[in-house]
C-alpha cells in the first residue's frame, strides 16, 4: 500500500533517513535545513528502528561524529546549509582520504559569508571541485523535487557504500522548503551489528577479534610514496565513478537549437522557461545534470548535438557554466544567467535572458 | 637456580619500535593502556582514537582497532563511535595541543553531554611533534620556541588547567591526574585507568584521565633532567590526584 504525503523537502530527507535503515544522524541547526533535525527528533527513530539522532555542538562536531561512526561500518548522515558545509570541509577531506561511506545533505543558501537564509546555488564549486584540502571528490547528487530529496537519500547511501566515499546531496533552499507530494517507500530494516561485521570487517573498526589483525582507519601516511599510492587508488576509484555513475535528465534536447542547462530549483524554473520559449516557436531543450560529480560531460555534448547555444541557469555568478564549457568546447555559444544572494530568478527572467544572450544575438 | 620470569612486554604492545624520543612519557602510557585493556579482557571490544601530534601513530603500537582523528576532533569522533556502538570501550588519546587548544570545544561538549567515553590526556606543556611550541598548558616563564623569553601572561595568557574545568561538568564521572615518571606513578596510573574504563563501560559518563608527561626534546633536556623538571615545575602547578 502506498504511503503518499504532502511535506517539505527537508522533512522528506528525515523520513528517508529512517526508512532507508540509517544508523545515525548528527546535525546542527542552520536555516534553511533545520527541519531535517527537527523532523527526526519528532519521529523518534531510536524507539522504532534504533537509529541514533544527536544534535551536535557545531557542524565541526557533527562531521567528526559522522567520521567516527562511519569508521564502524554504519550508515550515517548529516545535513547542513552553506556556511555549515564550509565548516565541514575538513571532515569531508578526512572522510574521503580514509575512504569512508557517508551522506551529507547541503540545503544551500545565498553567500558568501553568512549570506542570506534564502536559496542559493553558489556551492557548486565547493561540492564538485573543492570540498576541502587535497585531491578528492565527493559524489554529488542534485535533486529537483521533494520526491527526489527522499529517493536520493537511498541512492546516496548505495553509492557511498559501493565506493566507500562521501556522497553529497546538493539541494537548495527552494527544494528543501517547498512542499510537494511524496511517495514514501516501505521501511528497510537496519543492518544488525553481526551483519555489519560480516560485510565490513575487511576495513571497518568494529573491535578487533582476539588474535586477528587490527583495523586502522586513518588518512595520514608519513611516507610520501605510500601517500601517493593512496592518491592513485583514489583517482582510480573516481575514474570508475566518472564512467559508471553519470545521471542526467534531457527534455526536448534532441532537436533543440538552444539548451537550458540547470540543476535543482533552477531546473524546475528553467522547465517553465523552456515551455515559454517553445510557445514562442523556439526549439529549446532542458538538460538537467542529476549527478554534478560525475558531471555528464559527454552526454551533454552528444544528446544536445544540434544545439548551437547553451544557457547555464544557476543561482550563482556562474559556476556550473565552467563544466558546460568543458562539455561542449568551442563548438557552441555558452552563456550564464542567474540571480544571486538568495534572489530566485523567475521563469520569465530566464526566458528573457535566453532571448538576450542567445536567441536574439 | 631456575630462572623466574618477573616482567615481560605487554601482550597487546606490538613489536614495532617506538618513534618516541628517549625520556618521553608516551611509551610508558601506551604500555599502561595495553596492560589494562589486556587485564580487562577488552582487546576485542576496544576502539581507540588517536590525535594529531606525537601520539598520532599510537595505532602502530597497541594492538586494537584504531581511528585517527583530525586535529582536536577526537572527542567528537569518539562520540560518533560510542553512540552507535555502546557496547564498545571507546577512548581518545590526546596531547595538550590537540585537546586543550584546537579541540577545546569538542572536548567540553562531549564531557557536558556525558558521553560514555574515556579521554586520555597527555599534558607535557608543549607541542611536541611540531617542535616544542607554546601550548595552552605551558607554564608561566617557561621557554619554548614560540616563547623564547618565557611565557608572559600579558602576552600569552595563563596555563590552562583543563582537567579542573572539565571536572566541574555534570556529565563527567571521573577526573584524575597521574604521572608515569616513577614506578609508583605507573602503578597508580594503571589503577586509575582501569577505574576510568570500568566507569565508562558502566555508562556513568565521561572519564578524564590526565597524565602530566615529559617532552625531553621540546624541553631540551635529557631524560633524567626532564623527570626532575617535571617534579619540580609541572607537578606543583598540575598536582597529581590523591590515591
The string of DSSP letters for B162-197 reads HHHHHTTSTTEEEEEEEE-SSHHHHHHHHHHHHHHH
Q: Which domain holds residue A267?
A: 248-359
- How many C-beta atoms lie closer than 10 Å to residue A229's C-beta? 12
Question: What pLDDT shows up at residue A1?
Answer: 65
- What residues does each domain of chain B span? 26-130+161-237
End residue of a domain, out of A166, A184, A202 = A184
- How many C-beta atoms lie closer than 10 Å to residue A91's C-beta? 28
Beta-carbon separation of A69 and B80 below 8 A: yes
Instruction: With respect to residue A125, please indicate whether it lies within any of the assigned structural domains.
Output: yes
Instruction: With respect to residue A214, please indicate whether it lies within any of the assigned structural domains.
Output: no
How long a stretch of residues is chain A? Answer: 361
Chain A residues within an 8 Å CB radius of B40: none
pLDDT confidence bin for A278, thresholds 50/70/90? very high
Is this complex scored with an ipTM above 0.90?
yes
CATH of the domain at A252: 3.40.50.920
pLDDT confidence bin for A309, thresholds 50/70/90? very high
Question: What pLDDT shows up at residue B1?
Answer: 67
Instruction: With respect to residue A331, please indicate whether it lies within any of the assigned structural domains.
Output: yes
Domain count, chain A: 2
Nearest to A345 by CA among A271, A249, A257, A258: A271
Phi, psi of A234 (to 5 degrees): -60, -45
In this complex, the residue of A24, A67, A216 whose CB is nearest that of residue B59 is A216
Sign of torsion over alpha carbons A27, A29, A33, A37: positive
Question: What pLDDT shows up at residue B243?
Answer: 73
Beta-carbon separation of B83 and A52 below 8 A: yes
Chain A residues within an 8 Å CB radius of B59: 214, 216, 218
Report, as an integer, the average pLDDT of A1-30: 96
Report, as an integer, the average pLDDT of A276-293: 98
Q: Is the pLDDT of residue A2 over 90?
A: no
Shared domain check, A176 and A74? yes
* Residues of chain B where predicted confidence (pLDDT) is lower than 50: none
How long a stretch of residues is chain B? Answer: 243
End residue of a domain, out of A156, A184, A212 = A184
Alpha helices in chain A (DSSP H): 9-19, 35-43, 45-48, 59-71, 82-87, 89-97, 124-128, 146-163, 173-177, 193-200, 224-244, 264-279, 297-303, 321-328, 347-354
Q: Which of residues 130-149 of B touch A (CB under 8 A)?
A: none
Question: What pLDDT shows up at residue A288?
Answer: 98
Beta-carbon separation of B44 and A210 below 8 A: yes
Chain B residues within an 8 Å CB radius of A205: 47, 65-67, 81
Nearest to B213 by CA among B128, B104, B98: B128
Beta-carbon separation of B81 and A56 below 8 A: no
CATH number of B26-130+161-237: 3.40.50.970
End residue of a domain, out of A162, A184, A206 = A184
Shared domain check, A173 and A61? yes
Report, as an integer, the average pLDDT of A136-145: 98
Shared domain check, A176 and A254? no
**Mean pLDDT taken over chain A:** 97
Instruction: With respect to residue A124, please indicate whether it lies within any of the assigned structural domains.
Output: yes
Instruction: With respect to residue A67, please indicate whether it lies within any of the assigned structural domains.
Output: yes
Chain A residues within an 8 Å CB radius of B56: 220
pLDDT confidence bin for A361, thresholds 50/70/90? confident
Shared domain check, A287 and A154? no
Question: What pLDDT shows up at residue B7?
Answer: 87
Report, as an integer, the average pLDDT of A123-139: 97
- pLDDT tens per residue, range B190-218: 999 999 999 999 999 999 999 999 999 99
Instruction: With respect to residue A240, please indicate whether it lies within any of the assigned structural domains.
Output: no
Distance (Å, rounded) from C-alpha A257 to C-alpha B62? 65
Shared domain check, A257 and A179? no
pLDDT confidence bin for A245, thresholds 50/70/90? very high
Alpha helices in B47-123 (DSSP H): 74-84, 96-97, 104-113
Report, as an integer, the average pLDDT of A39-46: 98
Amino acid at each position: 500500500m502506498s504511503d503518499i504525503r504532502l511535506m517539505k523537502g527537508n522533512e522528506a530527507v528525515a523520513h528517508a533517513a529512517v526508512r532507508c535503515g540509517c544508523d545515525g544522524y548528527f546535525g546542527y541547526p542552520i536555516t534553511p535545513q533545520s527541519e531535517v533535525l527537527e523532523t527526526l527528533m519528532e519521529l523518534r527513530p531510536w524507539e522504532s528502528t534504533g537509529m541514533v539522532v544527536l544534535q551536535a555542538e557545531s557542524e565541526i562536531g557533527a562531521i567528526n561524529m559522522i567520521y567516527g561512526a562511519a569508521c564502524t561500518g554504519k550508515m550515517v548522515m548529516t545535513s547542513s546549509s552553506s556556511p555549515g558545509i564550509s565548516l565541514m570541509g575538513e571532515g569531508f577531506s578526512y572522510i574521503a582520504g580514509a575512504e569512508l561511506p557517508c551522506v551529507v545533505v547541503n540545503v544551500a543558501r545565498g553567500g558568501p559569508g553568512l549570506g542570506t537564509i534564502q536559496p542559493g546555488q553558489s556551492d557548486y564549486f565547493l561540492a564538485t571541485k573543492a570540498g576541502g584540502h587535497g585531491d578528492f571528490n565527493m559524489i554529488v547528487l542534485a535533486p529537483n523535487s521533494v520526491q527526489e530529496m527522499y529517493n536520493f537519500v537511498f541512492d546516496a547511501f548505495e553509492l557511498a557504500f559501493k565506493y566507500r566515499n562521501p556522497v553529497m546531496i546538493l539541494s537548495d533552499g527552494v527544494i528543501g522548503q517547498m512542499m510537494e507530494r511524496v511517495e514514501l517507500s516501505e521501511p528497510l530494516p537496519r543492518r544488525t551489528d553481526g551483519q555489519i561485521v560480516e560485510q565490513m570487517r575487511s576495513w571497518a573498526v568494529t573491535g578487533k577479534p582476539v588474535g586477528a589483525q587490527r583495523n586502522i582507519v586513518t588518512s595520514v601516511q608519513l611516507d610520501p610514496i605510500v601517500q601517493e599510492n593512496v592518491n592513485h587508488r583514489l583517482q582510480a576509484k573516481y575514474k570508475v565513478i566518472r564512467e559508471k555513475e553519470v545521471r542526467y535528465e534531457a527534455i526536448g534536447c534532441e532537436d533543440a537549437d538552444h539548451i537550458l542547462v540547470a540543476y535543482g530549483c533552477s531546473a524546475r524554473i528553467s522547465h517553465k522557461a523552456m515551455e515559454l520559449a517553445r510557445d514562442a516557436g523556439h526549439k529549446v531543450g532542458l538538460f538537467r545534470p542529476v549527478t554534478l560529480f560525475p558531471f555528464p560531460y559527454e552526454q551533454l555534448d552528444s544528446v544536445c548535438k544540434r544545439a548551437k547555444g547553451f544557457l547555464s541557469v544557476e543561482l550563482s555568478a556562474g559556476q556550473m557554466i565552467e563544466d558546460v564549457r568543458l562539455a561542449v568546447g568551442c563548438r557552441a555559444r555558452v552563456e550564464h544567467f542567474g540571480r544571486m544572494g538568495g534572489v530566485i530568478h523567475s521563469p520569465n527572467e530566464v526566458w528573457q535572458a535566453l532571448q538576450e544572450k542567445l536567441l536574439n544575438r | 637456580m631456575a630462572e623466574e620470569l618477573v616482567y615481560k612486554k605487554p601482550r597487546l604492545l606490538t613489536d614495532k619500535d617506538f618513534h618516541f624520543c628517549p625520556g618521553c612519557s608516551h611509551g610508558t602510557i601506551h604500555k599502561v593502556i595495553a596492560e589494562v585493556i589486556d587485564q580487562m579482557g577488552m582487546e576485542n571490544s576496544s576502539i581507540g582514537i588517536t590525535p594529531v601530534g606525537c601520539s598520532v601513530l599510537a595505532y602502530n603500537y597497541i594492538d586494537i582497532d584504531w581511528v585517527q582523528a583530525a586535529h582536536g576532533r577526537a572527542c567528537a569522533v569518539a562520540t560518533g563511535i560510542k553512540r552507535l556502538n555502546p557496547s564498545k570501550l571507546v577512548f581518545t588519546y590526546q596531547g595538550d595541543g590537540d585537546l586543550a587548544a584546537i579541540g577545546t570545544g569538542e572536548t567540553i561538549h562531549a564531557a557536558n553531554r556525558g558521553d560514555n567515553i574515556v579521554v586520555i590526556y597527555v599534558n607535557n606543556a608543549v607541542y611536541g611533534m611540531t617542535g616544542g611550541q607554546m601550548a595552552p598548558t605551558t607554564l608561566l616563564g617557561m621557554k619554548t620556541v614560540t616563547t623564547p623569553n618565557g611565557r608572559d601572561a600579558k602576552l600569552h595568557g595563563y596555563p590552562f588547567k583543563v582537567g579542573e574545568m572539565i571536572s566541574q561538568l555534570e556529565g563527567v564521572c571521573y577526573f584524575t591526574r597521574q604521572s608515569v615518571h616513577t614506578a609508583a606513578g605507573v602503578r597508580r596510573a594503571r589503577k586509575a585507568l582501569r577505574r576510568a574504563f570500568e566507569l565508562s563501560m558502566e555508562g556513568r559518563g565521561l572519564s578524564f584521565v590526565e597524565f602530566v608527561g615529559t617532552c625531553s626534546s621540546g624541553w631540551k633536556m635529557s631524560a633524567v633532567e626532564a623527570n626532575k623538571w617535571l617534579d619540580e615545575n609541572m607537578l606543583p602547578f598540575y598536582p597529581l590526584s590523591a590515591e
